[in-house]
Amino acid sequence: MRKGSSVGTPDEPWTSFTDRRGEREEKRIAVLRTAAQAFNDMGYHATSLDDIARRLNVTKPTIYYYVKNKEEILFECVRIGLEMLDTASTEVTGHGGSAHDELVAVMTTYVGVMTMDFGMCVIRVGEEPLTGESRRTLRALKRRIDLKFRDLIERGIAEGSIAPCDSKVAAFTLAGALSWVARWYRPDGDLDAAAIARQSIALLLNGLRPRPD
């Protein structure tokens, strides 16, 4: 309320509501990210809500303000990870260049997400502990990402920038290999995400055979 006025300006209540909603969402994401870290470190079944609360230095009832239960936490962690993959792959395609170039860009962003908390949770935990409907939702997201790989491979074959192959097998092989980065990546390791992406992609696309200088 402004000085000398008996009522607030029309937008003040909405601004206040928006700020509170934004702050709540930030805290909710913090809860989910902390949970993803715990799941990645200890496993889903071995992690309790008490463990997550301790990591956040809050009480267990505080967790329930942001999520209903542990299953919802896992669903949201995996969903966010998959949507990060989907969004990142969309952002690096459609800007010109060959399908091969776009495939490399998608693979690079894929590795980047796989080295993040939510991305690692997609692979280290996944949707298996969830109920049927949740699993179906997440698998639909996975299919969407798989189809992007296949489309790029098929386009590359058609234009001659990628060698003829079974696009389904190729997409599964590429995504499977890159996903496994989430299993062994360590933030304190010798290689950062960018270096891992470069080396992994070079091996997958060029193989191990010696090449001329």
Amino acid (1-letter code) at residue 52? I
DSSP-derived secondary structure letter, 118: H
Other C-beta atoms lying within 10 Å of the C-beta of residue 154: 17
The domain locations on the chain are: 69-206
Rounded-to-integer distance, Cα 124 and Cα 139, Å: 15
Q: Output the pLDDT for position 95.
A: 84
Q: Output the pLDDT for position 9.
A: 41
2, 15 Cβ separation under 8 angstroms? no
Residue for token pair 């934004």 = 22
Q: Output the pLDDT for position 211.
A: 67
pLDDT in tens, 104-128: 999 999 999 999 999 999 999 999 9
Categorize the per-residue pLDDT at 7 as very low, low, confident or very high, splitting at 50, 70 and 90: very low
CB neighbour class for 80 (10 Å; exposed up to 12, middle 13-18, buried from 19) = buried
- pLDDT (average), residues 14-35: 81
Which percentage of the chain shows pLDDT scores above 70?
90
The CATH code that applies to domain 69-206 is 1.10.357.10
Rounded-to-integer distance, Cα 171 and Cα 169, Å: 6
Rounded-to-integer distance, Cα 33 and Cα 39, Å: 10
Residues in the chain: 213
Q: Among 82, 107, 80, 79, which residue's Cα sits nearest to residue 92?
A: 107
Tokens of 104: 């490399």
Rounded-to-integer distance, Cα 24 and Cα 16, Å: 12
Here the contacts of 147-150 (C-beta below 8 Å, separation 24 or greater) are 148/86, 148/89, 148/90, 148/93, 148/106, 149/103, 149/106, 149/174, 149/175
pLDDT in tens, 72-83: 999 999 999 999
- pLDDT (average), residues 192-196: 95
The answer on pLDDT for 17 being more than 60 is: no
